[in-house]
Chains A and B, each alone.
Chain A
Amino acid sequence: MTEQVPVGAGVTVGARGLANPLRDPRDRRLPRVPDPCAVVVFGITGDLARKKLIPAIYDLANRGLLPPGFVLLGFARRDWETGDFEAMAHDAAKNGARTPFREDVWRRIAESVRFIPGSFDDDNAFDLLAQTLIDLEATHGIAGNAAFYLSIPPAAFPLVLKQLARTKMADNDERGGWRRVVVEKPFGHDLPSSRELNALVDEVFTAQDVFRIDHYLGKETVQNLLALRFANSLFEPTYNNHYVDSVQITMAEDGGIGGRAAFYDSAGAARDVLQNHLLQLLALTAMEEPVAFDADALRVEKLKVLGAVSLPADLEGDAVRGQYAAGWQGGERVPGYLEERLIPPHSRTETYAAVRLGVETRRWGGVPFYLRTGKRLPRRVTEIAIVYKRAPHLPFTATDVEELGRNQLVIRVQPDEGVTLRFGSKVPGTTMEVRDVAMDFLYGEAFTESSPEAYERLILDVLLGDATLFPRHEEVEMSWRVVDPLEEYWANTTPQAYPAGTWGPRAAEEMLAAEGRSWRRP
């Protein structure tokens, strides 16, 4: 091991991309900080912007991860001055920030927020926006770098994208910096519509400048899934159909549909959650090892595994959907889905979906992947459970191992982020009695540094141009190929009702019971 000696006189500092002499891969104290840039948020007055984006931007600034020349531009149809916007953003940051709120940090951000009022069909407003970005090059040195965050309903996409194209704001070469766009789900409502949307976005921005946010991929535990699988030698040998009996991926929500009635009723649980979050989790769980931890290598593996996902030949009994009825949930009386405000009284939209998928690869052939998601379930939890086969032979008597279940490796995505390993252990006493025990790794305990919010990480990645944690359009399309047949099968059927506050419809239990399995209670 030799030490770094002084570089010596006459070193030439390279341009961006060449070596910066002050950076060194071994210098891990220095954080990655993006170039000076602007973030333009369309729909800045919306829920997402107030609850997630603005607090995330504050947290990034507070952690010193934003460049000095950072500008936040809000765009919305409000009769606001920049001052009004700043006041709103101040409150949003104060209420939502994860890190302690410090006024002097906020003042630095407040100096570089701008608000541009206008509707999406207002040419003048977009001209003003374009001019503002040009002006910011002189005043903030953003050098043409801007990210456009479309925090708006998909119906408004075409309009905004056309405006960005018209004003040449989406053009990387026009101002010599980078121009990126951030899109939130839903990415369409079926394969054709998602293709249409992708074509539209790709026409205006180049494909590598499009960042599709699936906020689950920004969560520490999901990234830890990759570390768990590919940094350890302990799990890999058993991580296949020789040892694994089945895989259960659950995303349960205790809440109802909240204020999203119109959107939710047109989408349903499968389109809202299964198509994106659950299939992304499945891809990360089942994919082979990528050759490198970068965007391209990861995408190749995810695409391979998503392409290998198969639906049961006969969906009858292996694809279940449900709809919550009135009931008691966590000590409160809650209305049924059909009684929610703005929901048509005869709606056949599902609020619960469960499906048995296969992954047709050598590693996973014959291992069922059970995916389920639902609203108004007993608790809010997301987890991936790898359920192992029982030992082929047990030298104990049947009564000794009565309470022994199957070994499980559970990745808890939220809450209580961590990993659980369940295995059998002897109950202390004179008899040989084996019972399940759990060994827990709790993220919050080993690394209590509060994990960055998913949005914090993802916004930073967008500004750095790192697409590792963003699904590409091929993945989105591949996912629709899985969901479209389900939707087709479910069309014109009525979802089975389940009382709010329970773990879903009976048919879902039967789906696993038919194969001698049962859902894990998360």
Chain B
Amino acid sequence: MATLWETNAGEIVKALSAERRIAGAVAFGVVLTLVLVVDERRAEEAMAAAAEGAAAHPCRLLVVIRRRPDASAARLDAEVRVGGHLGTSEAVVLRMYGRLARNAESVVLPLLAPDSPVVTWWYGPPPQKTGVDPLGALATRRITDTAQAANPLRALKERGADYSPGDTDLAWTRCTPWRSVLAAAFDSITGQPATARVEAEIGNPSAALLAGWLKCRLGIEVDSASSAGPGITEVSIRVDPAQDILAEDAGGDEEPVEIRLTRHDGRTAVLARSRQPERYLPLARRETGDLIGEELRRLDADQIYAATLAATTGRRIAATPPTASQISRGASNRRSSPPPRTPREATIERAARTRQGRAD
């Protein structure tokens, strides 16, 4: 590990390759850059989770820690870590003081691994507009976690209002095992979904998303109920016999079928289906590292999440990537003074606004 005081991106790049040589890692196998935005006091736990997720996807981990943004002098301290518990990954912890904290992308940009995807993960409250935040705009995927918010359901609404392709939320990732079991159960069901109900701890964003997913896929309203938890405790769906001829020909059930998936201990679930014996299956709550591992597996926009978020929050979601003008406008919102622009950039930006019928 190398520690650099009052440094800059150029020196960090040098330190990184020096560390890599010392560690004996000759080949460069990093497939993506993970930018982790976190508070000093939660940095270690977040990095441990990131390292676990990165075990499956070697990455360059850039940890952005903003300290004393109102300090008068801008300063950058860095720690460079290669190998060890990070496996084949490498990490740079960046501590930014003063005004630099508000221009973090100036340090992050030169440190991105060449020509590979960038994922930004806010461990803690995300910025208002993740897609136009400078650290969010440079990423192809943006990871938030509404479950950490003081009011998760309101945070989910904000995610819905803010959505841009490439967004994802760990509350959604936590749904995957539930969705997987439910989808498998539906493989052998014929009929018309009639009612559905999701029961969970009060204010659980994953339950809201799961209900939104069912609503969006099955085309029915989904009831919510509260329980003592932990997390989601039960999902039940009733499917009535099919009414149209086509489905009858396919040989459907003649009586309603009810599927009930229950989990009270956060570890093992019971799957009950009408006229069939109950089945037990492992359905454990997952660690953050595991969730990050799943998120890093795919690096394109998750359209199912977008549709689900729309159904959950009742907002229409823009499916097109933010335009250049939105990004630069958003970026300028965050700064105290507008960023310097080249004449060419200004022209492009004006043209983009004109196209949207909002010429200045």
Contacts of B182 in A (CB 8 A): 22
Contacts A16-B187, A30-B179; A11 near B193 (Cβ below 8 A): yes
Q: Which of A1-15 contact B (CB under 8 A)?
A: 1-15
Which residue of chain B lies nearest to A23 when distances are taken between CB atoms in the complex?
A: B183
**B56 and A11: CB pair below 8 A?**
no
**Given A7-B218, A16-B187, A445-B58 in contact, is the A104-B268 Cβ separation under 8 Å?**
yes
Cα–Cα, bound, A7→B310 (Å): 13
On whether the beta carbons of B319 and A447 are closer than 8 Å, the reply is no
The verdict on A15 contacting B247 (CB below 8 Å), with A9-B220, A140-B279 known, is yes
B179 touches A13 (CB 8 A): no
Not counting A13-B192, A445-B27, a sample of 14 additional A-B residue pairs whose C-beta atoms are within 8 angstroms of each other reads A3-B306, A4-B216, A14-B250, A21-B217, A30-B176, A33-B187, A35-B187, A68-B184, A104-B282, A139-B277, A442-B27, A446-B58, A448-B57, A449-B56
Inter-subunit contact A1/B57 (CB<8 Å): no
Query: Is the beta-carbon distance between B294 and A448 smaller than 8 angstroms?
Result: no
Tally of chain B residues near chain A (CB < 8 A): 67
Tell yes or no: A314 within 8 A of B by CB. no
Cβ-defined partner of A29 (8 Å) among B179, B310, B311: B179
A/B interface sample: 15 pairs, CB < 8 A: A3-B303, A7-B217, A12-B243, A13-B193, A15-B251, A22-B179, A24-B304, A29-B298, A64-B181, A68-B281, A104-B282, A139-B277, A445-B29, A446-B29, A448-B87
Instruction: Please indicate the chain A residues that have their CB under 8 angstroms from the CB of B179 in the complex.
Output: 22, 29-30
In the complex, the number of residue pairs spanning A and B with C-beta atoms less than 8 Å apart equals 166
CB of B267 within 8 Å of the partner chain: yes
Please judge, given known A-B contacts A104-B268, A108-B280, whether A448 and B180 are in contact too, CB under 8 Å: no
* CB-CB nearest 7 A-B residue pairs: A445-B29, A449-B56, A15-B250, A68-B279, A4-B307, A22-B183, A33-B184
B268 with A447: CB separation less than 8 A? no
A61 is an interface residue with CB less than 8 A from chain B: yes
Checking A26, A141, A442 against B304 with a beta-carbon cut-off of 8 angstroms, the contacting residue is: A26
| Residue from B187, B271, B276 with most neighbouring chain A CB atoms (10 Å) | B187
Contact with A along B149-182 (1 / 0, CB 8 A): 0000000000000000000000001001101111
A31 CA to B298 CA, complexed, in Å: 13
Contact across chains for B56 and A143 when beta carbons are under 8 A apart: no
- A2 / chain B contacts, CB cutoff of 8 Å: 319
Question: Roughly how many angstroms separate A8 CA and B177 CA in the complex, as a whole number?
Answer: 25
| Interface residues of A, Cβ cutoff 8 Å to B | 1-18, 20-24, 26-31, 33, 35-36, 61-62, 64, 67-69, 102, 104-105, 108, 111, 138-141, 143, 440, 442, 445-449
What 1/0 mask marks residues of chain B from 248 to 285 whose CB sits below 8 Å from any chain A CB?
A: 00111000000000000001100101001101111010
Which residues on the A side are within 8 Å of B280 (C-beta)? 68, 108, 111
The residues of B that contact A29 with a CB separation of less than 8 Å are: 173, 176, 179-180, 294, 298, 302, 304
Cβ of A7: which chain B residues have Cβ within 8 Å of it? 216-219
**Measured between C-beta atoms, what is the minimum distance from B40 to chain A in Å?**
29
Chain A residues near B243 (CB, 8 Å)? 12
Nearest opposing residue in chain A for B257, CB measure: A13
Question: B244: which A residues are within 8 A, CB to CB?
Answer: 12
Contact B217 A108 (CB under 8 A): no
**In the bound complex, do residue A64 and residue B277 qualify as a contact, i.e. CB atoms below 8 Å apart?**
no
A448 to B297, CA, bound (A): 12
CA distance A3 to B307 in the complex (A): 7
Residues of A within 8 A of B91 (CB): none
Q: Are A108 and B88 also in contact (CB < 8 A) when A15-B252, A442-B27 are? A: no
Residue B189, interface by CB 8 Å: yes
Complex formed: what's the CA distance from A447 to B185 in Å? 31
Pick the residue among B27, B191, B219 that contacts A10 (CB under 8 A).
B219
B55 on the A face (CB < 8 A):
yes
| Shortest distance from the beta carbon of A352 to any chain B beta carbon, whole Å | 33
Check B319–A13 contact: CB distance below 8 A. Answer: no
Query: Chain A residue with minimal CB distance to B27?
Result: A440
Contact among A22, A61, A111, A447 with B217 in the assembled complex (CB-CB below 8 Å): A22
Report A-chain residues with C-beta under 8 Å of the C-beta of B218.
Answer: 7, 11, 21-22
